[in-house]
Structure formats: C-alpha cells, structure tokens
C-alpha cells in the first residue's frame, strides 16, 4: 500500500490498492480488502485456487437462511471462480508453493480485480495473470479472465468450474446442490435448508482452440479439466462468464450473453470501465495536497457504490456490505446514520431503496415491539429480509467459560427506531421527495414515535419523562438510564411525528396527497397523537452540561471509575475477552466503546455552544476505545465543528482506511466479525463533505464553513442538490477559502 | 448426632448435641455447631489447642473495624481460651496425635460446652476433660475448666493464656496489642486499626497447689506455663475466669469476680444452669411424637437466645449471629422477617432492642437513600453499627477470572426498608407498646414510605405505579422489574405510613403522646403525605395469578427457560461458581435461589385463595435451589397454610437443623460464608408456632388452626400475649385437635 503523502494529484497510479508479495497472513483480510461487488453479489478478493478454508465466497445480497438454532445469515453462492493450475503434472498454488512473483491489485477506478503470480518449476517459470469483475450494469453477471504462460513448452492442465463446498459460518446452508453440464455450460442449482431460496449458478467459458475438456462431477463440485500443450511464450487465455440468480430476485433474468460465440470479456470490461468512469465523474472527491487522503476517501466511495442495491427498489446495505456472512449480513443503524448521506447527495435512487427497505419492513418492527409489550415500531437491531430480527439474546461467547453471554443489543438498543426516522426525515428534507409518505413513511414515523412514547416513564413523585434501561451507541455500558443520545433521538422522533401530524391536522387538504391524509386520519387519532408527541418532545429529560461543560452519557456515568484506555487494556486477562457486558473491564469505568455523546452533539451541534462541543470532544475522546468502526468518523466530524481540523484528520483517515488498512477488530469474544466497514466508508464521506468542506444545507441552498487540515489546498466534488448537480470547488489560498459552486 | 425419631419424650439425653470421634474435616463446621454465646460474645466451639488456623474465635457483638479497602467486619477478641497440654515433654493435641478417645458435647439445656479427649502416651494414657460457658447473666464473663489426669505418674505442663493472633477474614484488626501480667492476672489490651475500639481481655486462673507458674510474654501472646507432677489417677483441675470489655460498651463493667479467692466455677455454672432452666421453662417447645424435631427446634431456640442482645437497648442480631466474621457480622432483613417473632412472643425486651437498632440507625438509612438520589430511608442491606452499609458493590469473586463481580445487593435489594417497617408494625401490633413512635418509630415508617414513593415510576402512557430495576429475595435474578414481593412490601409500607398519618391527622390529640404528634406535624405535611401514600398503596402494581394460578415473580419471569435444579447443576463448570449475576447458570432460567413469591403469599396468605397458595407452592418449590437458609422455613410455613403438613415437615426440619447438621453453603464464589444461621433458627420457630400449631393473633386473642405432621401427637409451648404468659397445649386425638390455652 502506497500511502505516502506525495502531493501528487489524482492519476492512474492512485486508483489502485495493491501488494507485490504473497503473505499468507493476509489471506483473510485481503478477501475484504480486494472485494469486488455490484450490489447484487460481493466477490471476496481471494485467489482462484482458494476454497472455503481461505474464506473464498460470492455473497448474495438480501438472501438469508438458517440452519437449526444457529444464526440466520446470508447465502454464499456456489463459487464459480475456482481455478486450479497444473503445469507438467505439478499443481501450482500459493498455498503449497511460494510464488517467485506475486501481485494483487484492485483497480477501483474501473472496478476490476487483478492478479499476477509466477512460480519456478523444474523446467523454468510459469506465470498466470488473471482478472475479474462483477458487472455493474448487469448485476447478475461476473466475468473472469485467467491467462497462463511459461518460458518453456509445458503440459498445461486447468481445473475450473463451480465449487459448491462454500464457506459458511453457520452452515451448511444448502440442503442439496444439483450440478450438471449441458450444452457446454456448467450449472449448479442449490436449495437452501428451508427450501425458501434456490440459487442458480451458470458458467460458460471461452478457451483456446486445441484445448481438451473433460467434465468432473463429484461431491458438491462440477469442474472442467482442460488440457493443453502450451508452447514456450504462448499465452493460454481462458474467459469465464458467470450468471447468478435466485428465485427470490425482484426481476428474473434471462442470461442472453450466454448465446454469444465471441469472447465477451473485452467488450464487457470496457462497459465496466465506462460505468465506473461515469460514477467517478460525479462522485469522486478530489483533494489537492493530500493524495493519501484522496485515495483512502475514494476507496471508501468505491466500497459504498459496490455495495449499493441499484438493482432493487427496497434493499438496504448490511453493516459489512457484501463481504460475507459476518454480522449476519444484517442491516444496522449504520445505514441511516453513516451511509445514507453519500447516496442522498450523489445517488438518490439508492437512498430511496435504503429508506424503502425500512418502510417495507415496518411489519417486522411492529411485531418486535409487540413481542416486548411496547406500542409502535421497534426496528430490528440486526435486520434481515422483512425486518426479521437476526440479533439473538446471546451475541458474545465468554472466553473464560465458552458460554454464550446474555447481551442486550436486541432488546435494549432502542435508538435504532430513531435512526430509521432520522433517515426518512433526512431523505425527505434533502430530496424534497414526499412520495415516501404515501409508501408508508408517515406510518413509519408515527409508529416509531408511538414506540418511544410507550417507553417513557416518569417518577410518580414528578419530573421529566425518562427512558430507562437501554443501551446507547456505546455498547460497553448495558442497561443504563437516560442515555443522552437515545433520549435526544427519541425527542427528534417525537418532534418529527408531531410536525407531520400538525401539517396533516391543520389542513389535510394541503397534504401532498389526499389518499395518505385520509388513510392516516382513519387509522390514528391525529390531534391527540400530535399533542401527546409534542408534549413528550418538550418533557423528555436531556442531560445538561455540568460545571465543566461535560454532558453525562447516562445517569451515573460520571461517577464511574475514571481510567484511561491503556490502563484498562492492561487489565485484560485474555486479548479476546469482551470489554462490555456485566463484568467486562470497561463496564464499571468511563471507558466507552465508541462515540455516544459525541454523536448527539455532532448531529445537533447548533443546539450547543462551541465550548460545550469542545469540552465534550476532549473529555470523551480521551475515554473512547474506538472498538467500533462507527466511532472515528464522529470524532473527526465533531472536531471540524470545533474548528480543530488537525485533530479531526487522524480520525478521518482511520475511518477512510478502515478496510484498506484493515487491522480493525476481527473478533468479538470468539466470534469472527471481520469484513468491510461500510459505515466507516460513509463516515469518511460525511467527514469530507460536512467536516472539512463544512457543507450544510438550508432550504435547498448550500452553506459553506470549510476547515481544511493544514496541508490541504483544495477540495473538488459534486453534489446533487434539489435535483441538480452542483460542482463545488473550495480552495485555500493564503489562509482564505475561495468557494466556487457552479452548475455540474 | 442421634437424630432418629424414637418417639422418646424430652429427657436429658435430648438436650445435647455431641460426637464421639475426632474428625478433622469437621473442625470448621464444629466451630459453628458447638458455639456458645451470651449476646455479648460468641465463643466458637473449637478445641482449646486450636488457633486461628482452625478458626478459633471469640466474636464480639456490634464491634466493627476495617483494614484498608477490605470489608469492614466484627472484631474477634484476643482468644483467652487457648490451652496447650504437654505430658512428659510430649505435646498432646488432636492436630498432631490421633486421640484414643474423643467426645465433644454441647449441652444446650444448660448452655455449657464439654470436651473429653484421651491419648495413649509411652507410659499409658492421659485424659483431659474440659468445659466452658459464656455467662448469660453477666455477659462480659466466660468460664473455662480444664482437668487432666493420667493412669501413671507424669510430668504435666500446661501452657494457657491469651492468644492475640486472632482469626480474621480481612484483618489484622489490631494495630497493637499490649500484653501484661499483673497481680497474677493476665491482660491483653488491643486497639483496633482505626483506634476507635479498645478491647480489654483479662483472665484469672485457679490452679492446684503445688503447680509452678512461669509467664511467657512473646509476640501477640501472653501465656502461663504451669508445671505439675501429676500422680497416677490424680486430677489436675484448672479454672479460668475471663472478662472481656471494650471502651464502646453501653455499660462499663468492673470485674468484681476477680477479687474472689475461691474457685468460682461451680457457683457460676450453677447460675448458668439456672438461667437456662428459667429460659426453657418459658421458651421450650415440647413436641410429643417427634424427638428429632423437638431437639432440632429447641437447639434453634438455643441459638436465638445465645445471640440475643439482652445486655443492650439497641443492638440487633447479625445474620450469622456471633459465630464469627462471615457476612461481615452484619444485620440483614433476616432479623425482622425471620428472627423477630421468637423474641416478640417470648422476650419482648430483646425484640425492642432489635427494633430500636433500626430506629437508631435511621440516619444511616437516610444517608444511603440520599447517596442514590432517593428520598427517605434506604436501610443498609448489610447493616453494621450506626447503620453503616457494609455491603459493597462487589460481593462475589468470579471463579473463572478471579475478578470481583459487580453485584446489586447494596443498591437494588430495596425490600430491606419494608422489612424494617414490617418489624416495627409487628412489634407494635403484638406488644401494644407504642413508645416506639416516640423513639423515632414514626419517622422511620414515614421515611421508608418516602423512600418507596421516590422509587415509583409510571409509564407516561398510563398504568399502575411500578418499581423497576430491583432484586427481590431471590438474588439469582438481578435488576428485575416489579418483583411481586418487593411491590407488595412497598404497598405494606405505604399502607402502614398512611394509616399512622391518618390517625395523627384525624386528631393529633388522640395520638398516644402529644410530643410525637407535634414533632411530626412540624416536620411533615401530614395530610399530603397521607394521601400520597394511600394513593400509592392503591395504585402500585401487583402481579396477579395467571390462568394456572401462578403469580409471576417479576416481569418476564415466566418466559425464562423452565429447567429443573438438577439440570442446572449439571451445567456448572466449577462447583464454586456463582449461580446468579449476569451470566450465572440460573440467571436466564426460572430456577430461583430461595423463596420469593412464596414469602409474599405466606405473609399475606389471607389475600389469596387456597388454590393460588397451593399452585404457587408447587410451582416455585420445584424451581427453588434453596441456596439461602431463608428459604426452607417459608416453604414449610406456606405448606402448612395449604394444609400440607407432611410437605412442610422436611423443610421445617431443614431449617431447624441448619446449624446442627451443617452442610449448608459454605462458599459464595470464593468467599467463605459459613457460620450460624439465625434466620433458619427463627424460621423453624415460625414454622412450629404459625405453621404446625397454626397460631395467629387477632386483637390480642390467639386463634388456632393446627395441622400436625402425621406422627406428631402434641405440642406444648408458652407465649407472652398482651403482657401475660399463656401456656398452650395442642393435642391430636383420633384426628381431632384438642386445645388448651391457660395462664402460664
């Protein structure tokens, strides 16, 4: 990774991440780092000879299955990218032979994965060069090219096909896989355990004339064995086109390309490059003065665009994107609070899909609230299709006893419903698209407000409305009372619902569509609800700054042991032990997992003095472990609000590099949690746009309050505001900012 | 232990517990089992040659000290009972030589401890016989007699004196101990670490003429070395009188007996026997048909009377009596809920001392409530002098990590204040002694009600008053909402306070004393408080029987895993692991530590149908581990209420035998918690009187509703009702109960 700040501008060399040596320690992480995806499927950046042992996988968006009592998790398709290389009878794989040369590269400007590997063999050297991409315009397709040469005549054998022995965390997810070859194509038809989903994988290859093919159909695998007499210096070039579909897809696909005779690779790769070229023309953020930041940030945007469900009307993005089954492939608050802004400002169709996912899963949220005896909508903490709550009551394994630990993410992290409302309101406010109300948005906001209303308690002796026994964003402290962030977001929800009901109540005829207005009036006592929510917004308790300006994260937080993160780390008895829960090292201290008060202050910065923002930044930053990838970007953003761009910068970079650099937490207790970090990617974008560029929106107008890190010269990017692209250029010249905001 | 049910009536042989072989495994337990005490001091039933290694101790009532950050715990006095026996140069101790014969006996009718041990030595046999008792009438005194004989001429050497190297759990508690010999007596003056308490121990001996004495004054010990030429068949008889006092005693004592020249043992032993004889004449419960039950029950009464603070006006009884430092020598709800009835019905002066202890520690309870942000009085869960809360936030050590576990006994076991109120109300109702109000009783009841009032919350959406986030009697389930027992006891407290305030409000002049009435009117808004408490009593939530008649212990209890105790036990990874806490084997199941709903139903049985009582008895009994000695007696009592005396019987016996049989939990995690179980003793009495005899009181009248176990023929006992002793005799003849209630 070339990450040095060389002040070079954006050129071809900066659009890639790469490495030029093979390091088996990086196999797992590289699966995430070199991921290619197109919203429909995520193809882990593993090598062709890898199998489930190295976590090779083609992850399918929004398709979930459950085995027995294990966690539900998304399906990985039978892997159609497997290739085994045999030269003169010797199997060449990095897993068994150290390569003489090895290069791995993700060219994220064009969305193509590259690999070069060479081995010394008895008679000389054998080299392979391969590529792959997931088709952005036709998301059921991916393409692979695999080329081999040698510096000597050589008997080549290539075994390639569909490997149905897929990587599963809680599998196996296929009850059966039927494999067959027909008309020269290979097929795998895999049925999920619950028989709900059938995954069909079909592959066609283009191979050199003169090569021999034999079909091997054995347990869970269907392969072609290709034999070829390779002459010295000749390239054996194989192209594979893959089509993946399921019977649950929104649109069924007919794989037309498979009728072609010609090798489709060059044409489709050109189309792929054109797609990404068009994307970058709008979405790229150009930073002069900091190539490293620019690379990291745009790599983050590559991740977001790759995972975006452009093929769907109501799909969302899981916390770990399409990088595999970790975090159960579930959608968290990450989407609304961290990813949404990027799509809102550059790709509103995707933003709407994310929002619609929540509207369409309202029944799941109503059912969850009912289960707990609450009113309204309690969204799933880990949401799968139809709003199914994937979060169990036991999310962490105790490293000391091997027992599952009762966690409260599912039942007490109630701020999730407010995140849904926040996303909806942000979407409507920014896009002006009020069709969302008609599609269930209004019910969603009202039901979330009803949920919070049913949580409110008040001392019989009097006082504010309170929300007790919750978990805030900082998950290390369970079952706390009056988490400031949660209460403020509940207040936001009450105010949003009250505002909408007020509009409707005043003059239903003035509401954008009569049908929605009528429906709501039939379903709800509008006036009564409006008043109830307005009162709740007024009366809910919000912790206030103390004499030092510090806002207490929850009741009693400031009385906990005040200890620093390193001291706490030194108390660990096992590096994998969980810091939170009832007895974790952090539980009875002020050390927190991630931004908590800081999010509140950042989202509602205008409600607090600069002094309070800054005091709390310093106070909580010193006590935050950043055990979540959702943390750094918030401290960066808030630091920008406090005009501390140089303090913001390392947190911004940490967020932007989350998946490039890796090294994040791969384990929670004994559970593997590695994968892409889409919230960090989205957070880096927020930092750039709202933080360093200082953008805010007011009545469809852009306002600027930039504050660059010392070494930044300029930022250029485009935003889609009020339906029109605006090209923004902010230059810092002699300490002054020059701003251009032109038609894009 | 001869525990067989031989239908013999009450004779001398049944007034003892004894054993006739030496078993080193029983040394610790026997310290509790053979304990003698007189309310001022508790002398563990260890052998004379034992030291702190074998947990020898003379425990002092109500004297506490703290070392560093360790738990505060009661003081053990320098041990004046140490005797070392050397015959012809050979040290004779059970710890080094297996005795040829050994007998240990506690004659609890006369409150005297006996021991006989014989050893074979080179020239024949040496035997010792010893006795001791703690003077019941002069509680600063105890007496020891130590006699040795041999079947051959023998050079005898006895080393005896004061051993200042005392057993401490969290010691050492003495900053310094001064030892000296003066006028033939030995003195130890020990200063506690915080210099608050000075303990003075003085001993005088009477020894045979012809014996030689030499004083040894070495580190923490002052001893006499007595040498004597013992002739075959001669008895060497040593008497020791000990006086123990502290500068914190209510009355300072002048040790007059030390002036005597004559051996005081026979006279004082006779007085001791007379004291106990008088006690038993009133207190004994005679059961015909079940010698075992009678023995166990009266042994329980021995324990209660031994621990009773008859020398004090405001001392209470710790949960572990005077058996040592376990449970920090602290007073728990055990006293009011389990021990009080015995004293109330037989020794009202002691009952009043127990009550006064709570009145006089009200300031501590007010301070604790204030600390937590509550109003009123939150009594200490583990109360030491002045109401000091000895319970820490970390009461259990995790056996897997060795770390202290955050427990919530201190801050969330809020039912303690209601136990105090219950004790006060029971005292006044039964004794008619309303002087308690003048002494602070009225304030105590009001402040406890104010405490509960400040705990009440209500959903903003409406509903009952609730008490959330508590621990009920069943400590395995922490931080639960609406524990039925807690809510019912809070209701009891509200009703009690409202009732008293109503009396006062109606006509202050009609109140027993004008001064109290005036004081309360000045201090409190009487009418307003009365109405507030009355409303709280009406509106507090009480779980109702479900369709099967089962009352849910707390919100959500019946949805927990329903598993039996044995299955749960099989899940243990370590026999010492804690069953409760956040992740204990019981925490997410319906297995409970001890009676919880059962106590509520028992105390307020008249409010429930027989069906409900019985359904809940069966339901909860099957799910109770009885990990607390407070559990069995409740199930026995409730079973009697359900007319199931044969189901009650084993629980009654378990309770009555708690300290005789031993074998209770000696460990909580890694913490030693052995000792006497005074609540079990008190509970056994309750079972006998309220359960099997079926006694209840109504307007000063005794009502009977007996239900004997099948093999019981009659019960005889006395009760002090309305200031007069009543002699009760209940006979079962041909299935009919014949009751005599005569002047005692």
> Contact A583/B581, CB-based, under 8 Å?
yes
The nearest CA of chain A is from the CA of B530 a distance in Å of 14
pLDDT of residue A508: 72
B572 vs A: CB within 8 A = no
Residues of B in contact with A583 (CB under 8 A): 398, 401, 403, 405-406, 581-583
Does residue A13 carry a pLDDT above 70? no
Q: Which phi and psi (to 5°) does residue B371 adopt?
A: -55, -35
Q: Domains of chain A (ranges plus CATH)?
A: 16-255 (2.70.98.40)
- Which pLDDT tens digit goes with each residue over A206-243? 999 999 999 999 889 999 999 999 999 999 999 999 99
Does residue B10 carry a pLDDT above 50? no
Query: In this prediction, what percent of chain A has a pLDDT beyond 70?
Result: 95
B476 touches B627 (CB < 8 A): yes
A423-432, A719-728, B506-515: least confident range:
B506-515
Among B107, B141, B194, B167, which Cα is nearest to B323's? B167
Task: Give burial (CB, 10 Å; 0-12/13-18/19+) of B310.
Answer: middle
pLDDT of residue A2: 37
The nearest CA of chain A is from the CA of B466 a distance in Å of 9
> Contact A582/B405, CB-based, under 8 Å?
yes
Does residue A321 carry a pLDDT above 80? yes
Task: Identify which has the larger pLDDT, B255 or A175.
Answer: A175
B441 vs A: CB within 8 A = no
- Among the listed residues A475, A478, A577, A614, the single catalytic one is A475
The nearest CA of chain A is from the CA of B693 a distance in Å of 43
The nearest CA of chain B is from the CA of A447 a distance in Å of 14
pLDDT of residue B5: 36
* B interface test, pick of A395, A396, A460 with most B CB neighbours within 10 Å: A460
pLDDT of residue A668: 62
Does residue B3 carry a pLDDT above 70? no
> Contact B456/A458, CB-based, under 8 Å?
no
B272 touches B310 (CB < 8 A): no
Does residue B395 carry a pLDDT above 80? yes
Does residue B28 carry a pLDDT above 90? no
ipTM for the complex?
Answer: 0.90
CA B374, CA B677: separation in Å to the nearest integer? 32
A536 vs B: CB within 8 A = yes
CA dihedral A45, A50, A54, A57 (to 10 degrees): 50
B136 touches B38 (CB < 8 A): yes
The nearest CA of chain A is from the CA of B479 a distance in Å of 9
A469 vs B: CB within 8 A = yes
Does residue B7 carry a pLDDT above 50? no
Residues of B in contact with A461 (CB under 8 A): 375, 453-454, 456
Q: Residue B681: how many CA atoms within 13 Å on its side-chain side?
A: 31
pLDDT of residue B692: 98
Q: Stretch A448-464: mean pLDDT, rounded?
A: 97
In this structure, what token pair is assigned to residue A412? 């007490």
pLDDT of residue B257: 59
Residues of B in contact with A587 (CB under 8 A): 406
Q: Stretch A305-320: mean pLDDT, rounded?
A: 96
A587 vs B: CB within 8 A = yes
In this structure, what token pair is assigned to residue B731? 């006979």
CA A581, CA B697: separation in Å to the nearest integer? 49
Confidence class for position B670, pLDDT limits 50, 70, 90: low
- Which pLDDT tens digit goes with each residue over B584-635? 999 999 999 999 999 999 999 999 999 999 999 999 999 999 988 899 999 9
Q: Stretch A574-580: mean pLDDT, rounded?
A: 93
pLDDT of residue A3: 35
CA B178, CA B201: separation in Å to the nearest integer? 10
Q: Stretch B246-264: mean pLDDT, rounded?
A: 75
Mean pLDDT for chain A overall = 94
- Which pLDDT tens digit goes with each residue over B340-391? 999 999 999 999 999 999 999 999 999 999 999 999 999 999 999 999 999 9
Helix B678-686 × helix B291-307 angle, to 10°: 130
Residues of B in contact with A460 (CB under 8 A): 453, 456-458, 465, 536
Does residue B154 carry a pLDDT above 90? yes
* A interface test, pick of B408, B578, B583 with most A CB neighbours within 10 Å: B583
Task: Give the closest of B457, B469, B581 to A459, CB-based.
Answer: B457
* A interface test, pick of B469, B481, B582 with most A CB neighbours within 10 Å: B582
Q: Stretch A570-595: mean pLDDT, rounded?
A: 96
Confidence class for position B183, pLDDT limits 50, 70, 90: confident
Q: Which residues are registered as beta bridge partners of B721?
A: B724
**Tokens 């021995």 identify what position?**
B302
CA B40, CA B60: separation in Å to the nearest integer? 6
Q: Which phi and psi (to 5°) does residue A733 adopt?
A: -125, 120
> Contact A461/B454, CB-based, under 8 Å?
yes
Does residue B271 carry a pLDDT above 80? yes
Judged by DSSP in three states, B18 sits in strand
B603 touches B559 (CB < 8 A): no
For residue B302, the Cα-to-chain-centroid distance in whole angstroms is 11
Q: Stretch B95-104: mean pLDDT, rounded?
A: 96
Among A447, A286, A259, A262, which Cα is nearest to A361's? A447
| Residues of B with active-site annotation | 475
Q: Stretch A322-327: mean pLDDT, rounded?
A: 93
Task: Identify which has the larger pLDDT, A1 or A550.
Answer: A550
- Which pLDDT tens digit goes with each residue over B685-740? 999 999 999 999 988 899 999 999 999 999 999 999 988 999 999 999 999 999 99
The nearest CA of chain B is from the CA of A383 a distance in Å of 24
- Which pLDDT tens digit goes with each residue over B454-486? 999 999 999 999 999 999 999 999 999 999 999
Q: Which residues are registered as beta bridge partners of B70?
A: none
Does residue A702 carry a pLDDT above 60? yes
Task: Identify which has the larger pLDDT, B669 or B224.
Answer: B224
Residues 249-278 of B with CB under 8 A from A: none
Query: In this prediction, what percent of chain B has a pLDDT beyond 90?
Result: 88
Please provide the DSSP assignment of B208-277 as one string. Answer: -TT-EEEEEEETTEEEEEEEEEEPTT-EEEEEEEEEEEETT-SS----GGGG--S--HHHHHHHHHHHHH
Does residue A255 carry a pLDDT above 70? no
Confidence class for position A250, pLDDT limits 50, 70, 90: confident
Confidence class for position B425, pLDDT limits 50, 70, 90: very high
């Amino acid at each position: 990774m070339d990450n040095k700040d060389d002040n070079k501008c954006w050129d071809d060399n900066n659009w890639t991440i790469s490495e030029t040596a093979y390091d088996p320690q990086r196999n797992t992480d590289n699966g995430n780092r070199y991921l290619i995806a197109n919203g429909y499927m995520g193809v882990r950046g593993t090598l062709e000879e890898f199998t489930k042992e190295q976590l090779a996988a083609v992850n399918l968006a929004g398709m979930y299955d459950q085995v027995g009592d294990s966690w539900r998790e998304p399906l990985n398709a039978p892997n159609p990218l497997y290739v085994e290389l045999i030269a003169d009878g010797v199997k060449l794989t990095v897993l068994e032979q150290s390569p003489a040369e090895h290069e791995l590269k993700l060219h994220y400007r064009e969305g193509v994965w590259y690999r070069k590997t060479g081995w010394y063999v008895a008679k000389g050297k054998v080299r392979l060069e391969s590529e792959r991409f997931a088709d952005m315009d036709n998301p059921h397709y991916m393409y692979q090219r695999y080329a081999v040469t040698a510096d000597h005549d050589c008997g080549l054998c290539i075994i390639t096909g569909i490997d149905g022995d897929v990587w599963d965390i809680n599998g196996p997810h296929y009850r059966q896989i039927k494999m067959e070859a027909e008309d020269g194509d290979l097929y795998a038809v895999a049925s999920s355990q619950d028989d709900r989903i059938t995954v069909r994988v079909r592959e066609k290859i283009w191979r050199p004339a003169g090569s021999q093919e034999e079909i091997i159909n054995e347990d869970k695998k269907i392969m072609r064995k290709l034999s070829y007499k390779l002459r010295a210096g000749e390239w054996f070039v194989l192209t594979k086109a893959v089509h993946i579909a399921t019977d649950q897809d929104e649109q069924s696909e007919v794989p037309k390309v498979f009728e072609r005779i010609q090798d489709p690779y060059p044409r489709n790769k050109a189309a792929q490059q054109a797609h990404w070229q068009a994307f970058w023309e709008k979405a790229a953020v150009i930073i002069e003065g900091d190539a490293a930041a620019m690379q990291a940030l745009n790599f983050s945007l590559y991740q977001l665009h790759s995972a975006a469900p452009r093929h769907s009307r109501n799909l969302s993005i899981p916390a770990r994107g399409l990088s595999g089954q970790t975090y159960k492939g579930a959608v968290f608050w990450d989407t609304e609070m961290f990813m949404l802004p990027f799509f809102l400002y550059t790709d509103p169709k995707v933003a709407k899909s994310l929002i619609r996912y929540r509207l369409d899963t309202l029944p799941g949220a109503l059912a969850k609230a009912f289960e707990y005896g609450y009113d309204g909508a309690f969204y799933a903490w880990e949401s799968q299709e139809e709003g199914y709550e994937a979060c169990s009551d036991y999310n962490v394994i105790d490293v000391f006893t091997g027992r599952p630990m009762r966690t409260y993410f599912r039942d007490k992290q109630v701020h999730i419903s407010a995140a849904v409302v926040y996303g909806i309101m942000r979407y409507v406010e920014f896009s002006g698209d009020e069709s969302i109300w008609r599609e269930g948005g209004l019910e969603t906001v009202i039901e979330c407000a009803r949920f919070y209303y049913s949580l409110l308690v008040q001392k019989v002796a009097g006082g504010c409305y309170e929300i007790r026994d919750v978990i805030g964003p900082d998950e290390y402290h369970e079952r706390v009372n009056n988490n400031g962030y949660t209460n403020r977001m509940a207040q936001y929800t009450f105010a949003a619902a009250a505002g909408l009901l007020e509009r409707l109540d005043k003059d239903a005829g003035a509401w954008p569509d009569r049908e929605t207005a009528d429906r709501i009036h039939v379903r709800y006592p509008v006036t009564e609800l409006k008043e109830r929510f307005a009162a709740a917004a007024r009366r809910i308790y919000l912790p206030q700054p103390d004499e030092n300006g510090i806002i207490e994260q929850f009741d009693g937080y400031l009385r906990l042991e005040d200890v620093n993160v390193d001291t706490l780390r030194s108390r660990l008895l096992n590096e994998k032990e969980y810091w939170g829960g009832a007895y974790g090292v952090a539980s009875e201290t002020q050390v927190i997992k991630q931004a908590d008060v800081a999010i509140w202050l950042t989202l509602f910065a205008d409600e607090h003095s600069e002094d309070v923002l800054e005091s709390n930044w310093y106070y909580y930053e010193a006590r935050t472990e950043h055990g979540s990838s959702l943390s750094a970007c918030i401290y960066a953003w808030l630091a920008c609000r406090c005009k501390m761009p140089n303090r913001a910068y390392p947190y911004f970079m940490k967020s932007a590099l989350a998946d490039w650099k890796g090294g994040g937490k791969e384990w929670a207790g004994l559970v593997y949690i590695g994968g892409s970090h889409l919230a960090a990617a989205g957070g880096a974008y927020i930092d750039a746009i709202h933080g360093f560029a200082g953008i805010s929106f007011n009545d469809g107008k852009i306002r600027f309050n930039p504050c660059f890190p010392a070494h930044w010269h300029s930022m250029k990017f485009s935003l889609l505001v009020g339906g029109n692209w605006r090209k923004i250029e902010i230059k810092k010249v002699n300490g002054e900012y020059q701003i251009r905001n032109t038609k894009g």
